[in-house]
Structures are given as C-alpha cells and as structure tokens.
Amino acid sequence: MSSDLLLLIVLVLVVLLGSALCSGVEAALLTVNPIRVQELAARERPVAGARRLAKLRKHLGRTLSALVITNNGFNIFGSLMLGGYAAWVFEQRGVNSAALPLFSIGLTVLVILLGEILPKALGSRLALPVALASAPLLHWLGILLRPLVVLLERILPALTAEAEISTNEDEIRLLARLGSQKGEIEADEAAMIGKVFQLNDLTARDLMTPRVAAPTLDGSLSIESQRSRLMENNSQWWVVLGDQVDKVLGVASREHLLTALLENRGLLTPVDLCEQVDYVPEMIRANRLLTGFRKDSGGVRVVVDEFGGFVGVIGAEAVLAVLAGWWRKPA
C-alpha cells in the first residue's frame, strides 16, 4: 500500500475519531445527572474530575460551544480536506471518476453512523464515567477556544448564563412516579413523597381535633371528681381549662392522671399535674408543625385563632397520619 493511500485512510480515521469523541462527550454532558456530579464534587475526597466537571456544568453553554466548534471542525473542514486529498490520490492513480462521489457518500455515512449516532448513544448510556474522564480535556479545550467562544457570547448572551441546579414539586412528583413504574423505588415510597408535599398544603386547622371534641378537664375540680371522663376517653393528652373562656392552664398526660388516681392522690387537681402549654396558630403549615415535633416530640400543641382563643389541639400523630396516608380530608 502506497504512502498517499495510507495517509488518506489515517486522515479518515482521525476525522471519525474526532467527531465520535466530540459527539459522545456532548451527549454525556447533556445526560449526566447534575445532582450526582455535585454530590461527587462535594465529598471530602472528591472523585477524580468531579470538581472540574461541576465547574464546567455551571457554564454549560460555553462548554457545549467549544465542543460544537471542534466537532464541526472535524466534520466540515475534515471532510473538505479529505475530499480534496482523495481527489488528488485518485487522479494520481488513474482511478475512475466515479470513485470520488462514492468516497464522499461513504465518508458521509461513516460520519453519521460512527461519528454521531453510535457515540451519542454510548455517551448517553455511560454519561457519568465519560463526563468525568473528559473533564480535564474539556477544560483545556475551553481555554484554547476561549476567544472564539467569547465572540459567540457577544452575539448570543445566553451562552454566559450559569446553569443552576433547580427543580420543583411537579418534577419531583413525576420522578417519583416514574421511579415507581420502573421499579427503582417502591410504590409506597413514591406515595409518601407525594404526601410530604401535601403537608405544605395543610394547616393545623385541617388536622387538629376541634375544641368541641378535644379532651378537656376542669382545672378547679379534683381528678377524682373527673374520673368518669378520664375512663371514657383514651386520649393521651388532656387540656386543662380555667374558669374563664379560652383560658388554658396547661396540658396533662393521661398516664400521670391515672397514676395519681391509683396512688390515692385523686384529691389533686389537673393543674397540679399539668405541663407547660405550647401554642400554635391555626394557620401554621403542617410541615412547620412536623419540624417542631421533630425537635420536641413530647406532648401536644394547643391551637389558637387570630385572637388567641382556644380552637383545638393537635399531636404529632395527626401530622404523621398524613405521611402514612391515613388522613382523609373531611367531606
């Protein structure tokens, strides 16, 4: 095989390889999970290339511009150069004039299949390893082509915009549903994710036990005189009321009240056993209530209206019932 024909084959391989690398890396950058990249970069010992890849993704427009310029360089200028060189080789060898059009068609097919379609499919499938491995090369490619990329930024300012990682409630719900359908997460886990968002739509007023149904004790009477009321209701916490309307003296646990009866301390009043009251407004969101219960899971919260009036009582179990799917909106 003569040197000119061998050089032609080498040039074809260079064009195909360059186009394939650019296409595969481009597909990997667009497909890789940005949250996963941030997690790898934030580690104490970050994965090789993760931090550089995270920086490149912040200016994804610039990185893609450099890749597209390089890819077009291989595809367009490479093809033109190869066409001219192939014409000279065929002329020197006295090959039939139909060979050049056939060579051009064959090269185009190879570029489409081996330089575009196949690399992009592989890049999408192996997005994370390809993106991490190519991060150092992309860094230097960006520096090399910066003048041209800056010129493009002047023409298209959108290229300078930072790619922020963000999502919303609808996207997370959709991802949970898709993950459940594909078997990536359990159906009950997907349902619970939806319930978490439901907490933000509910208030203490929606979940509380209203005043008319709340377990209450008269703070001025003895525990013994209210024994029957305690026995008829299994509520774990009781609101101790004063002699005035809406005057809440505290809350007392059923366990302490029954213990007092068993120890012949029934002459005590509920006030003697009550604990400090935690008040919450009736319009507080359920997710904020859950945060409060997580810090202090004991007891209940007394719900008050905008005027400070006692309107109900709520415990942690009422909020957790929403997450478990037990809560149903009253008709």
Residue 165's pLDDT is 55
Distance CA 295, CA 291 (A): 7
Residue 40 confidence (pLDDT): 83
Q: Cα(221)–Cα(231) distance, rounded to whole angstroms?
A: 16
What's the confidence (pLDDT) of residue 282?
A: 92
261 within 8 A of 273, measured Cβ to Cβ:
no
* Mean model confidence pLDDT for the chain: 82
pLDDT at 162: 52
Q: What is the mean pLDDT of each run of 10 residues along the chain (331 residues)?
A: 76 87 88 82 80 81 82 80 79 73 83 88 90 87 80 66 60 75 76 79 89 89 90 88 84 90 89 88 89 77 90 88 76 57
- Nearest Cα neighbor of 290 from 236, 253, 327 is 327
Q: How many CB atoms lie within 10 A of CB 79?
A: 17
- pLDDT of 304: 92
How far apart are the two ends of the chain, measured CA to CA in Å? Answer: 87
Residues pairing with 209 in the sheet:
313
Domains and CATH numbers, the chain: 3-160 (no CATH), 169-198 (no CATH), 200-324 (3.10.580.10)
pLDDT at residue 166, rounded to an integer? 60
Length of the chain equals: 331
